[in-house]
Structure 1
Amino acid sequence: MKVLLASPRGFCAGVNMAIESLELALASFGAPIYVYHEIVHNRYVVSHFKDRGVTFLDDIEDAPEGSTLLFSAHGVSPLIREAARRRNLTAIDATCPLVTKVHLEAIKYAKAGYTILLIGHEGHDEVIGTMGEAPEATLLVESPEDVDRLKVADEKKVAYLTQTTLSVDDANRIIDRLKQRFPHIAAPPKSDICYATSNRQEAVAKLATQADLTLVLGSQNSSNSARLAELSTECGTPAHLIDGAGDIDPAWLEGVETVLVTAGASAPETVVNECLDLLRDRYNATVEPQVIRTESVSFPLPRELRGHAAETEVTSVLTRS
């Protein structure tokens, strides 16, 4: 068996920053640490931190008054920030800067009197946070068909934004339809879909046709990971989204000569390596790295932690290659 190992894959700069932030918070303040929603959408990462005294909350009122709370990489709405202040929480903002960019765009357009058309998935943590910046001015668009049903106050004063982890192709189909219906629609100066999402999708699009099967490391609630599996399928190569090597069904690999292995932006390299080890041990697989693009992006730690970073050197097993 031959394994095509896609690169780039796995953690993006925003996920690296969020995980390093949580590691540093644990080292600086000790457990318990609370996180509003999952730090990233990955079962392995969440379990790792739960074992070390981190509690993940879906209701901020469950955070004890005066405790330390970290906002996840997906961002939160102003209402959640206000609730944290009201409860006297030590809040650490680990929102990905690329998500923050979308929040600031939403604020700008709302102040200018625009109706904001947010392209994204209903219920996703990132979408909830972005819509919370301007709830009365924002409408969610999930498909080209949704565009035809939109009702706006002024068709010459609309703007679109997107969730950062969408399928590039799906988003473009919706954007094309929006431009047809609203010729004057305003757009962000630069695409909201993050570089890591685009790069990982590009790698799958270029490599999937060379494989008989694609294995995507990532959790079911990870939007960007799910898109990779869908993209491979659209390219004609069956794909499975798995949390780790233990999810691999031997039946999938019967008669398979070439496997493409990649990972969503919230999946650690640890689970990739475990998957590769299984393929080597059971199928005598040879691994061929396939570098489509190189990435060198990094984001600074939240300002609430920068002083602690100077005093405490922290490395995480999750961010090691």
Structure 2
Amino acid sequence: MDKRKKIILAEPRGFCAGVDRAIEIVERALAKFGPPIYVRHEIVHNTYVVSDLKAKGAIFIEDLADVPPGATLIFSAHGVSRAVQDEARARGFSIFDATCPLVTKVHVEVAKLAKEGYEFIMIGHKGHPEVEGTMGQLDVGIYLVETVEDVARVQPAQTEKLAVVTQTTLSVDDAAEITAAVRARFPQVREPKQQDICYATQNRQDAVKLLSGQVDVVIVVGSPTSSNSNRLRELAERSGRQAYMVDSADEVRAEWFAGKTRVGLTAGASAPEVLVQAVIARIQQLSTIDVQTMRGLKETVKFPLPKGLKLAHEAQAAEASPEPAPATPTVTAG
């Protein structure tokens, strides 16, 4: 790399409240019950996070048959189908649900409207665990669309009661375009009161749009399986910038920065800040480079943990305290 370059960090970037909560659930379960703790699917889509939790005693599985009787089982942040929930209960596992509350909100809406006779169009990526979990809330009456072209092929049994729901980690712009196509074909379609795409996904995409106008190249820290990380890279490319996604600092290549003076750096909602700092260190090995953080929204959202995961020292502190600890305020960002 040439000298006198600058890294501009997106704000916000990295972990969201749902990811923080999911990881904390696994770590608390390990601390309270001891390893092994079984997790259905990767807790979040990040190689570093999953490897770190494996080293601490978490075992990630896809088939519940791989979990021994009486074990502690955690559902991943992406959510699971009703069939998986029923099977887990039937097998008698001790269950903690790390499903992101914003995904759970979609599940609750689907279940509520289904009782009222609604069918659903779901905008999302086939095979993604969140999509499988949401579609698995119903046995029939939910149709997946990935593109505007897919909308023309949907054949619901009726159109008087039809609702649209969305995977929470989609491109905001893509989802809006597909939703418009759904609305054009089914004018009576019911849309969510608040969009299903989560605040963190929207905030990170908005930040990348701003970032892309200030830099020559964009680096996104995130794993290949991370939907929201892939959307950030695509968004930077649509903004006319070269963009690369890296799972670790080892993947950074010097040739990406040839002739570039301003490097944008962000991270998907499942990528920890330690990886961002490692990427910064790697780039600084290649050249003298300054680092600055662009102005952006500070997220203060925090989701409560499931009951039963309070650790021993917390329980003792609560018993010793004459006053109940105040609840952590939750502020919706973005």
Residue in 1 that maps onto 2:294: 290
Q: Give, as a single letter, the amino acid of the residue that structure 2 aligns with 1:210.
A: Q
In the alignment, which of 39, 42, 47 is matched to residue 38 of structure 1? 42
Q: Is the counterpart of residue 53 in structure 1 residue 57 in structure 2?
A: yes
Q: Answer whether contact 2:69 2:91 (CA < 8 A) is retained.
A: yes
Task: Provide structure 1 residue ranges, at least 5 long, that are not aligned to the other structure.
Answer: 314-321
Q: Is the counterpart of residue 94 in structure 1 residue 98 in structure 2?
A: yes
Residue in 1 that maps onto 2:186: 182
Q: Is the counterpart of residue 126 in structure 1 residue 123 in structure 2?
A: no
The structural deviation recorded for 1:71 is: 0.6
Residue in 1 that maps onto 2:241: 237
- Secondary structure of 2:87 counterpart: helix
In the alignment, which of 250, 256, 260 is matched to residue 256 of structure 1? 260
Deviations 1:228-270 (A, max 9, x none): 0000000000111111111111111111111100000000000
Cα gap change, 1:235/1:249 in structure 2, threshold over 3 Å: closer, same or farther? Answer: same
**Distance in structure 2 (CA, Å) of the matches to 1:278 and 1:192:** 36
Cα gap change, 1:309/1:83 in structure 2, threshold over 3 Å: closer, same or farther? Answer: farther
Residue in 2 that maps onto 1:151: 155
**Distance in structure 1 (CA, Å) of the matches to 2:197 and 2:312:** 32
- Secondary structure of 1:210 counterpart: coil
Residue in 1 that maps onto 2:251: 247
Residue in 2 that maps onto 1:208: 212
Q: Is the counterpart of residue 225 in structure 1 residue 193 in structure 2?
A: no
Residue in 2 that maps onto 1:28: 32
Q: Is the counterpart of residue 161 in structure 1 residue 165 in structure 2?
A: yes
Root mean square deviation, CA, Å? 1.3
- Normalising by structure 2, we get a TM-score of 0.91
- Secondary structure of 2:308 counterpart: helix
Residue in 1 that maps onto 2:7: 3
- Secondary structure of 1:74 counterpart: coil
Q: Give, as a single letter, the amino acid of the residue that structure 1 aligns with 2:124.
A: G
Q: Answer whether contact 2:254 2:286 (CA < 8 A) is retained.
A: no
The structural deviation recorded for 1:292 is: 2.0
Q: Answer whether contact 1:15 1:40 (CA < 8 A) is retained.
A: yes
Q: Answer whether contact 1:36 1:71 (CA < 8 A) is retained.
A: yes
In the alignment, which of 134, 142, 145 is matched to residue 146 of structure 2? 142
Q: Answer whether contact 2:237 2:243 (CA < 8 A) is retained.
A: yes
Bigger CA radius of gyration:
2
Task: Provide structure 2 residue ranges, at least 5 long, that are not aligned to the other structure.
Answer: 318-334
**Distance in structure 2 (CA, Å) of the matches to 1:294 and 1:185:** 35
Moved over 2 A (4+): 306-313
Q: Answer whether contact 1:67 1:89 (CA < 8 A) is retained.
A: yes
Q: Give, as a single letter, the amino acid of the residue that structure 2 aligns with 1:193.
A: I
Further displaced range: 277-286 or 135-144? 277-286
Deviations 1:189-218 (A, max 9, x none): 101000000000000011112211100000
- Secondary structure of 1:176 counterpart: helix
Q: Give, as a single letter, the amino acid of the residue that structure 2 aligns with 1:27.
A: A
**Distance in structure 1 (CA, Å) of the matches to 2:120 and 2:272:** 34
Deviations 1:91-148 (A, max 9, x none): 1111110000000011012111111101100010101110111130111011110011
Cα gap change, 1:183/1:91 in structure 2, threshold over 3 Å: closer, same or farther? Answer: same
Deviations 1:23-51 (A, max 9, x none): 10110011111000000000010111111
The structural deviation recorded for 1:308 is: 5.6
Q: Answer whether contact 1:74 1:125 (CA < 8 A) is retained.
A: yes
Cα gap change, 1:145/1:286 in structure 2, threshold over 3 Å: closer, same or farther? Answer: same
The structural deviation recorded for 1:155 is: 1.7
- Normalising by structure 1, we get a TM-score of 0.95
The structural deviation recorded for 1:312 is: 8.7
Q: Give, as a single letter, the amino acid of the residue that structure 2 aligns with 1:85.
A: R
Residue in 2 that maps onto 1:317: none
Q: Is the counterpart of residue 109 in structure 1 residue 113 in structure 2?
A: yes
In the alignment, which of 276, 283, 286 is matched to residue 280 of structure 2? 276
The structural deviation recorded for 1:310 is: 2.7
Q: Answer whether contact 1:6 1:292 (CA < 8 A) is retained.
A: yes
Q: Give, as a single letter, the amino acid of the residue that structure 2 aligns with 1:164.
A: T
The structural deviation recorded for 1:309 is: 7.7
Q: Answer whether contact 2:81 2:132 (CA < 8 A) is retained.
A: yes
**Distance in structure 1 (CA, Å) of the matches to 2:145 and 2:160:** 18
Identity of aligned residues (%): 50
